[in-house]
Structure 1
């Protein structure tokens, strides 16, 4: 089995637990994912199977969409419902003020990750250090919020749909919205609805997947070629496909530059290449 599965992660399990359950059920050695979801979060995870586990980095840069509910007036140490309340504030604001604050975050800006995150610091995850009471020195990362749709306001709660760049922390966004109103806020619930063009609407729940046979699951697998829809593709003539598989560089008749997926004449996925100056194709990842 080689390809990706779209799976709807339930609340109350880790992303790694989800992967291990699937791996055990389908009896495949190589199973992974392209980006974690918090323990309390639900929604779309891209599960990589077989050769697709070597392509994780190409999926990680895709835009994301989330639906999240925040509660104003409280701040937790994890920025979500799983954490301890460390501060409470009176929050006397109007719906109009909230709407203006939310809309002000449709921009590109340096965002500070939450102290409880999967960011690595000196070889350790930030959340591992934070749990031990160690002060976590994180650096801001530039993120882009492309759009925010306000779905519901029932103060002190508000629900929004966020379309954002890869690397955006929704927990940080909700806290930032709260801080801009001098209220503070934390994530009450979080659901990832899209990764690139992949939607949770087309995913399998974990319960559904665990009731399926391996053959049934294989029919739901998205091929490597289709999974990498966001990369331009080049097709190699016979002879050149063998050269590519041997790691050789050569000129291709394509006016492209950068990362491409490489196929043979029959549409078989051969790997990832990098088209350089003068249309020279450099093999990057080869799949024999």
Structure 2
């Protein structure tokens, strides 16, 4: 079993716990340990799309981690929590007298590229420790800002003090930080009440199985997206006979393709790995999957 599952994560479970539940379910069905992993966490309180890698596809995790994502988030103005979300402790409350028109203006101003600070309760590593581990001990983590890009931000609803937005953004963007920053500009703070990941690149939560439904299935082949179909965000190169064998042996050679990362197929159309084409159009094997 090699490929990916699209899972709709429920609230109230960690991403690692979700992986362990899926791993246990697969072992119960196939009576063997199957290697699985995830391609990016979702917060405990958040719901939505997670890409779960299975078998040989666990070697491809790095290629999913940098993909753009889409979220729907609801914020509440007038309260700030230590985690920037609904599970945190309220540390400040302020009256919010902002108009709907001004709030709309502030929200739409986030369609930009900027340096964003992660929340103190995040998985960022600081000298070998996770930021949230330090925050739980009362230590203020020294977080560095990261450049993020908000391609679009759409206002779905404003019912003060609540507002709901759809955000399409670069990988590594913290939606909790955006909601708090909107609240800061509104003069009263805000926290994220609800968060749902709806897309990862072209993968949609509409095509995902809710976790509970997945855990009730015993025939999972129809739910599995095989490796050769699991990388639609990469261009494809099909090699001529002879060159495919050279690729499988780790050799480099020139190809008629532009610089970038590609899915590589042999002369029969079978997926055999991932390759990187450099500026001189030389193909470098990155991940090799010999035919069985």
Give your verdict on TM over 0.5: yes
* 1:71 counterpart residue number: 76
1:127 aligns with 2:129: no
* 1:172 counterpart residue number: 177
Moved more, 238-247 or 61-70: 238-247
Aligned-partner SS, 1:8:
strand
* 1:272 counterpart residue number: 274
* 2:245 counterpart residue number: 242
- How far residue 61 of structure 1 moved from its aligned partner, in angstroms, is 1.1
- How far residue 24 of structure 1 moved from its aligned partner, in angstroms, is 1.1
* Residues 195-238 of structure 1, C-alpha deviations (whole Å, 9 max, x = no match): 0011101100111111111xx31221112222211111111122
How is 1:250-269 mapped onto 2 (pairs within 5 angstroms)? 250-252=253-255, 254-269=256-271
- How far residue 278 of structure 1 moved from its aligned partner, in angstroms, is 3.3
* 2:60 counterpart residue number: 55
* 2:223 counterpart residue number: 220
Q: Under a length normalisation based on structure 1, what TM-score does the superposition of the two structures give?
A: 0.96
Aligned-partner SS, 2:73:
strand
* Residues 221-256 of structure 1, C-alpha deviations (whole Å, 9 max, x = no match): 11222221111111112222121111111222x232
How is 1:81-160 mapped onto 2 (pairs within 5 angstroms)? 81-160=86-165
Aligned-partner SS, 1:167:
coil
Q: List structure 1 segments (4+ residues) > 3 angstroms apart after TM superposition.
A: none
Moved more, 142-151 or 269-278: 269-278
Give unmatched runs, 5+ long, in structure 2: 28-32
Alpha carbons 2:257, 2:277 under 8 Å: kept: no
Alpha-carbon distance between aligned partners in 2 of 1:110 and 1:280, rounded to the nearest angstrom: 35
Aligned-partner SS, 1:7:
strand
Alpha carbons 2:74, 2:164 under 8 Å: kept: yes
Alpha-carbon distance between aligned partners in 2 of 1:276 and 1:152, rounded to the nearest angstrom: 46
Aligned-partner SS, 2:225:
coil
Alpha-carbon distance between aligned partners in 2 of 1:223 and 1:68, rounded to the nearest angstrom: 31
- How far residue 150 of structure 1 moved from its aligned partner, in angstroms, is 1.0
Alpha-carbon distance between aligned partners in 2 of 1:35 and 1:108, rounded to the nearest angstrom: 21
Q: Under a length normalisation based on structure 2, what TM-score does the superposition of the two structures give?
A: 0.95
Alpha-carbon distance between aligned partners in 2 of 1:60 and 1:267, rounded to the nearest angstrom: 26
Alpha carbons 2:7, 2:210 under 8 Å: kept: yes
- How far residue 277 of structure 1 moved from its aligned partner, in angstroms, is 3.7
* 2:236 counterpart residue number: 233
- How far residue 56 of structure 1 moved from its aligned partner, in angstroms, is 0.8
- How far residue 2 of structure 1 moved from its aligned partner, in angstroms, is 0.9
- How far residue 109 of structure 1 moved from its aligned partner, in angstroms, is 0.5
- How far residue 266 of structure 1 moved from its aligned partner, in angstroms, is 2.3
Give unmatched runs, 5+ long, in structure 1: none
Alpha-carbon distance between aligned partners in 2 of 1:222 and 1:268, rounded to the nearest angstrom: 15
Alpha-carbon distance between aligned partners in 1 of 2:284 and 2:15, rounded to the nearest angstrom: 34
Alpha-carbon distance between aligned partners in 2 of 1:195 and 1:255, rounded to the nearest angstrom: 26
- How far residue 16 of structure 1 moved from its aligned partner, in angstroms, is 0.4
* 1:21 counterpart residue number: 21
Alpha-carbon distance between aligned partners in 2 of 1:270 and 1:136, rounded to the nearest angstrom: 44
